[in-house]
Amino acid sequence: MNSEKRAKTSEEPMITHANPSHGDQGSSEPVVSTDLAPAANGNGRRPPPSVPPTRRSRQQGGDGEAAGTNGGLSQWFIDANPLYLISVLLMFLGLLLVSGEANTKQVGVETVALFFGIQNIYEMLMVAMGIYLLRSSTNLRHGKILLLFVLIFMADLTFYQVRISALSAGWGQMVSLLYLLSGAVKLGLAVHLLRITPYWDRLLFPMGAFALIYFAPQYVYHSMDAVGRAGASAAGVPFSGVTEIYMIWVLAALIQLPFIVATWRRSNLEDSTPHALLGTEQSFYWALLLVPFVALPFQLVKNMMADAMAANRAIADMTFVYVPYLLAGLFFVQAFIQKTIRQQGCQNGFDFVMLMGVVGFAWVTWQPGEIMAPLGKANLLLALAGHIAVVITRQNLYSAGFLTMIVTWQFFGWIKAGMLRAAGFLSELSSLAWAGILMTGSFIFLGLGFLLSLKSGRQGALATGAGSPVQPS
């Protein structure tokens, strides 16, 4: 009986305690405790205090679930915020009008440069607003939209930098250099303040692409202008621009190499690296890489090559100049889908088909001529270099087989060419020369016959024992 009382007494503190409001009356009314804080008996724990919703969860602005799915048009207006798009369109239209006036040369370079300064202030405001919206978690979607608009502005889609260069070469170079440096500062601030993991190969490519967008058209334009200023001294040497255009496209391919090399073995652009403000870092790098990758060829064709074609119509048919950028670009884009390709087990097949397409395009666009033919040959060599790279680094047997065929075909081509040259040489010899050759051959074959006789005689003697040495008795 006493043991049962002790057991009951030991269990009671676990679930009840006396009501302190009854003082010393010794009331045994049990009160169920929901407080897990350490009581006098030391049992239980207090739950953590309730956390109020953070600013980010309240004003995420569409990065997660829609805050107000039933809000109608007003909620859509708040979430989409088309005011940013209207603002950007108004700025673009203003810059296009300024660019058009500069093209007619009805305004001075100082006026155009003033509008350029206004645009830079506008971009800096967008960068500051975007970083603030992201760092404060006020609205993540709108912050990313503002930074994307800045990236599009940096592609110089209004061509105003070239218009400034047309008015004054010095002003054009200075404006482009300042704008490129300001772009590097904007990019550095975004990476630093948003605490994004820096990948230098991914940061170098957009800056190199923007540099080509700004300076390549100016180089071609002033090369044409220099030929025109030469006057009579250059009357017999019109502007060609073939080699210059080709080398600019080669340079556009070369600036992709650091990124291609860095992602050759493994690319994490399909992974999801969590980021507190952007969701994932990959979304930032996808935009940073793909926008200039698309803008660069567009600008070179619509701006640089358009000016070059105005001086040399033959440039319109120079499709072979695209081969270097196409070759590098296919490996560039592959980095974004590399994980999917390898999961499907078709890395070597993808590389082979891609490279064969480049070889075919280089072959089809090969043009004859003293200048163009060597450049077409250079394109084929570049494509073959791609095959060699995947054979060495990825053990691509398809490319190895193709290269073996090329080497075999080239080897028999060399033999055929050598035989044709020998036949041509022999056909031009005189009768006396042929007589000398035949008589020389007669002596040679006479000597060879005598050597054969000596060898056959020794073998016959050894076989019959007639020529064997005498054995001592």
Q: How confident is the model at residue 8 (pLDDT cuts 50, 70, 90)?
A: very low
Q: Which residues contact 4 (CB under 8 A, 6 or more apart)?
A: none
Q: What is the pLDDT of residues 128-175, one digit of tens each?
A: 999 999 999 888 889 999 999 999 999 988 887 877 887 888 888 898
* CA-wise closest residue to 291 among 387, 398, 157: 157
Do 189 and 246 meet the contact criterion of CB atoms below 8 Å apart?
no
> Above 60 in pLDDT, residue 445?
yes
Q: How confident is the model at residue 314 (pLDDT cuts 50, 70, 90)?
A: low
For the record, the structure tokens of 269 come out as: 């652009």
- Per the model's pLDDT, the better-predicted residue between 465 and 7 turns out to be 465
Percent of the chain at pLDDT exceeding 70: 77
pLDDT at 225: 66
* CA-wise closest residue to 30 among 16, 43, 44: 16
> What residue type is assigned to position 213 of the chain?
I
- Per the model's pLDDT, the better-predicted residue between 196 and 460 turns out to be 196
Quickly list DSSP for 114-156. HHHHHHHHHHHHHHHHHHHHHHTTS-HHHHHHHHHHHHHHHT-
* Range list of H helices, 395-430: 397-427
Do 127 and 151 meet the contact criterion of CB atoms below 8 Å apart?
no
Residue whose structure tokens are 């002033």: 222
pLDDT at 219: 85
Q: Which residues contact 152 (CB under 8 A, 6 or more apart)?
A: 88, 291
Q: What is the pLDDT of residues 258-270, one digit of tens each?
A: 999 999 999 888 8
Across residues 329-333, what is the average pLDDT?
95
Longest dimension (CA), the chain: 147
Q: Which residues of 185-212 are buried (b: 16+ CB within 10 A; e: fewer)?
A: ebbeebbeebebeebeebbebbbbbbbb
Alpha-carbon torsion 47, 52, 56, 59, what sign? positive
Cα-Cα end-to-end distance for the chain: 132
* CA distances (Å), origin 108, targets 129, 166, 172, 174: 33, 11, 13, 16
Q: What is the pLDDT of residues 19-33, one digit of tens each?
A: 444 444 444 444 444
Q: How confident is the model at residue 272 (pLDDT cuts 50, 70, 90)?
A: confident
**What average pLDDT does the structure give for the chain?**
79
Distance, CA of 54 to CA of 51 (rounded, Å): 8
pLDDT at 53: 46
- Per the model's pLDDT, the better-predicted residue between 305 and 375 turns out to be 375
Name the range with the highest mean pLDDT among 34-38, 240-244, 271-275, 315-319. Answer: 271-275
Q: What is the pLDDT of residues 342-372, one digit of tens each?
A: 988 889 999 999 999 999 999 999 888 787 8
Q: What is the pLDDT of residues 61-116, one digit of tens each?
A: 444 444 445 567 888 888 888 899 999 999 999 988 888 887 777 788 888 888 88
In terms of pTM, does the model score above 0.85?
no
Do 138 and 132 meet the contact criterion of CB atoms below 8 Å apart?
yes
Distance, CA of 266 to CA of 341 (rounded, Å): 12
Strand partners, 16: 32
> Above 60 in pLDDT, residue 46?
no
Neighbour-count burial of 325, counting CB atoms closer than 10 A to its CB (0-12 exposed, 13-18 middle, 19+ buried)? buried
Phi, psi of 275 (to 5 degrees): -140, 130
Q: What is the pLDDT of residues 385-429, one digit of tens each?
A: 999 999 999 999 999 999 999 999 878 877 877 777 777 777 777
